């Protein structure tokens, strides 16, 4: 008994997400229309705001960097059969590690402070993922529940630290002093200026390159090493993993440490590249967007980079929209993002059956000719 007909690979990877995205945008357009604005104008504004100028592109890629890190974090856990909802908390605590190194060694040479800051971010993020992983591996506590809880704990911990310990003395808002300049992740427009190219000043920084390197490394690890093989076996079929001598509890802990480490790298972009200090809620929900990015990108690094850029464009275009159209505010932008997540993530299979049918009919006709 074989399953129903399947979509060709290209349709699965490109057409289906595109259909989902289009429907999400159409629905968003409908809401914009209900609010009394022209959907077409809104769409054009979003597009030009995100990709129509150097500034827009810079911001889009800056947002995308965060999503690549968190998307990869979710994907690595997913390949091991784990649903890591805790990228938000891991990114938050990871950022603490990055920030502490930057505060401490901010005036040391960049070649010393930046690698250490990366390492600290990854270590702190991994550490925050360790306990949920251990609880899942040893005690069977469900990782979804524990990682959600750890998001709250991370938020409480960070608030405490920022308000009571790390706050810059004599200041009202809960944030640290600025890092030393050597701990800044070089901005792309500054680097381009050095070779005589002018690019609009944006927070778009070298962390984007690190994110791409991370994506490449994740690809190599998952599909081209024996450890990635064991991780995938464990995620796809835990019984077969035990049979093959793979120890699932080790895979759970290992995959979550890696996942947490990837999420923990968010601070490289957000703190070292943009804020230059640690502040409350600097993650801004990127950990949750990472879930959608990973789903939409089919848990594949290439798909994740593409989806992250799309979401980056949505963020940047959305801010532009809220700025230019008075009837649309910031919340409306969240609604549009929500629709994209809903259609591309949670409801990604809704259009699969109709699309498959179209293909079957099309194939039959071309076979008849």
Partner 1 sequence: MADRIDPAVPALELRGIEKRFDAVRANKAIALRVARGSVHGLIGENGAGKSTLMNIVYGFHRPDAGEIHVQGRRAEIHAPHDAIAAGIGMVHQHFMLVENFTVLENVVLGVESGALLAGGFAHARGELEKLARDYALEVPLDAVVSELPVGLQQRVEILKALYRRAEILILDEPTAVLTPQEADALFAMLRRLRDEGKSVILVTHKLREIMAITDRVTVMRQGAVVGEFETARTSPRELAEKMVGRAVLLRVEKAPARPTETLLAVRDLEVRDRLGVARVKGVSFELRAGEIVGIAGVSGNGQSELLETLAGIRAPTRGAITMGGRDLVAERLGPRARRTLGLAHVPEDRLRMGVVASFSAEDNAILGYHDRPIYNRGVLSNGASIRAECEKKMAEHDVRPPLPALRITAFSGGNQQKLVLAREIDCDPRVLLIGQPTRGVDIGAIEFIHKRLVALRDAGKALLIVSVELEEILGLADRILVMNGGEIVGEVSANEATEEKIGLMMAGVKGEGRA
In the numeric block, the tokens 């289906």 are attached to 16
Q: For the chain, how are helix, strand and coil distributed in percent, rounded to 5?
A: 75, 0, 25
Least distance CB 4 / partner 1 (angstroms): 9
Binding to partner 1 by residue 237, rule CB under 8 A?
A: yes
Q: By CB under 8 A, how many residues form the interface with partner 1? A: 22
Strand partners, 175: 279
Q: Which class for 107: exposed (0-12), middle (13-18), buried (19 or more C-beta within 10 A)? A: exposed
366 part of the interface to partner 1, by CB under 8 A: no
Q: Which of the ranges 84-92, 134-142, 228-236, 278-286 carries the binding residues for partner 1, by CB under 8 A?
A: 228-236
Q: Using the rule CB under 8 A, is 220 a contact of partner 1?
A: yes
Among residues 193 and 240, whose Cβ is nearest to partner 1? 240
Q: At what angle do helices 143-160 and 87-105 cross, to 10 degrees?
A: 30
Contact region with partner 1 (CB under 8 A), list: 49-57, 234-242, 324-332, 341-349: 234-242
CB of 247 to partner 1, least distance (A): 7
Q: Is 239 in the site for partner 1 (CB under 8 A)?
A: yes
Q: Which of residues 252-291 bind partner 1 (CB under 8 A)?
A: none
Whole-number Cα distances in Å, 27 to 114, 247, 338, 354: 44, 46, 11, 19
When the beta carbons of 181 and 242 are compared against partner 1, the nearer one is 242
Cβ atoms of 75 and 221 closer than 8 Å = no
Instruction: Tell me if 9 contacts partner 1 by CB under 8 A.
Output: no
Dihedral, CA of residue 319, residue 323, residue 329 and residue 333, to nearest 10? -20
User: Closer CB to partner 1, residue 2 or residue 172?
Assistant: 2
Q: Scanning residues 81 to 110, which ones bind partner 1 (CB under 8 A)?
A: none
Complex with partner 1: residue 25 or 253, whichever CB lies closer = 253
How far apart are the C-alpha atoms of 176 and 162, rounded to whole Å?
Answer: 7
Cα separation, 327 vs 325, whole angstroms: 6
Residue 133 to residue 147: CA distance in whole angstroms: 9
- The whole-angstrom separation of Cα 269 and Cα 209 is 10
Query: Counting contacts by CB under 8 A, is residue 2 touching partner 1?
Result: yes
DSSP structure string for 138-205: II---HHHHHHHHHHHHHHHHHHIIIIISSPTT-SSSB-PPPPGGGSPPBHHHHHHHTT------S-B
Among 247, 335, 342, 350, the residue binding partner 1 under the rule CB under 8 A is 247
CB of 241 to partner 1, least distance (A): 8
By CB neighbour count within 10 A (0-12 exposed, 13-18 middle, 19+ buried), where does 229 fall?
Answer: middle
Give the C-alpha separation, 336 to 263, whole Å: 24
The answer to whether 327 touches 36, Cβ cutoff 8 Å, is yes
Among 7, 13, 27, 232, binds partner 1 (CB under 8 A): 232
- Segment lying near partner 1 (by CB under 8 A), choices 15-23, 56-64, 117-125, 226-234: 226-234
> Cβ closer to partner 1: 243 or 323?
243
Residue 217 binding partner 1, by CB under 8 A: no
Of the candidate residues 104, 199, 219, 229, the single one contacting partner 1 (CB under 8 A): 229
Q: In this chain, which stretch among 187-195, 245-253, 276-284, 332-340 interacts with partner 1, using CB under 8 A?
A: 245-253
Query: Using the rule CB under 8 A, is 1 a contact of partner 1?
Result: yes
Closest CB to partner 1 among 233 and 333? 233
Is 251 a binder of partner 1 (CB under 8 A)? no
- Minimal distance, residue 323 CB to partner 1, in Å: 46
The footprint of partner 1 on residues 129-158 (CB under 8 A) is: none
Site residues (vs partner 1, CB under 8 A)? 1-2, 5-6, 220, 224-226, 229-230, 232-233, 236-237, 239-240, 242-247
């Amino acid at each position: 008994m074989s399953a129903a007909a399947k979509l060709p690979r290209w349709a699965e990877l490109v057409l289906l997400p595109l259909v989902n995205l289009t429907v999400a945008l159409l629905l968003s357009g409908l809401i914009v229309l209900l609010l009394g604005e022209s959907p077409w104008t809104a769409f054009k504004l979003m597009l030009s705001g995100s990709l129509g100028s150097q500034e827009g592109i810079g911001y889009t890629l800056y947002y995308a960097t965060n999503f690549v890190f968190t998307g990869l974090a979710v994907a690595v856990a997913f390949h091991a059969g784990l649903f890591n909802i805790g990228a938000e908390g891991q990114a938050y605590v990871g950022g603490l590690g990055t920030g502490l190194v930057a505060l401490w060694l901010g005036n040391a040479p960049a070649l010393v402070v930046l690698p250490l800051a990366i390492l600290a971010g990854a270590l702190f993020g991994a550490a925050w993922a360790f306990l949920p992983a251990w609880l899942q591996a040893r005690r069977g506590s469900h990782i979804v529940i524990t990682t959600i809880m750890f998001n709250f704990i991370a938020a409480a911990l960070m608030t405490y630290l920022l308000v009571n310990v790390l706050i810059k003395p004599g200041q009202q808002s809960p944030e640290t002093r600025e890092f030393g300049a050597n701990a800044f992740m070089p901005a792309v427009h500054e680097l381009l200026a050095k070779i005589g190219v002018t690019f609009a000043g944006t927070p778009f920084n070298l962390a984007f390159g690190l994110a791409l390197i991370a994506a490449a490394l994740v690809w190599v690890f998952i599909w081209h090493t024996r450890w990635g093989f064991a991780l995938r076996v464990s995620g796809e079929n835990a019984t077969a993993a035990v049979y093959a001598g793979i120890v699932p509890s080790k895979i759970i802990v290992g995959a979550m440490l890696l996942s947490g480490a990837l999420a923990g790298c968010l601070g490289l972009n957000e703190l070292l590249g943009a804020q230059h200090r640690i502040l409350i809620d600097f993650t801004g929900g990127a950990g949750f967007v990472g879930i959608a990015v990973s789903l939409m990108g089919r848990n594949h690094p290439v798909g994740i980079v593409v989806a992250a850029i799309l979401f980056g464009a949505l963020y940047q275009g959305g801010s532009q929209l809220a700025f230019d159209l008075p009837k649309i505010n910031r919340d409306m932008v969240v609604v549009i993002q929500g629709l994209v997540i809903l259609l591309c993530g949670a409801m990604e299979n809704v259009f699969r059956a109709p699309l498959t049918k179209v293909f079957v009919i099309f194939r039959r006709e071309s076979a008849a000719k």
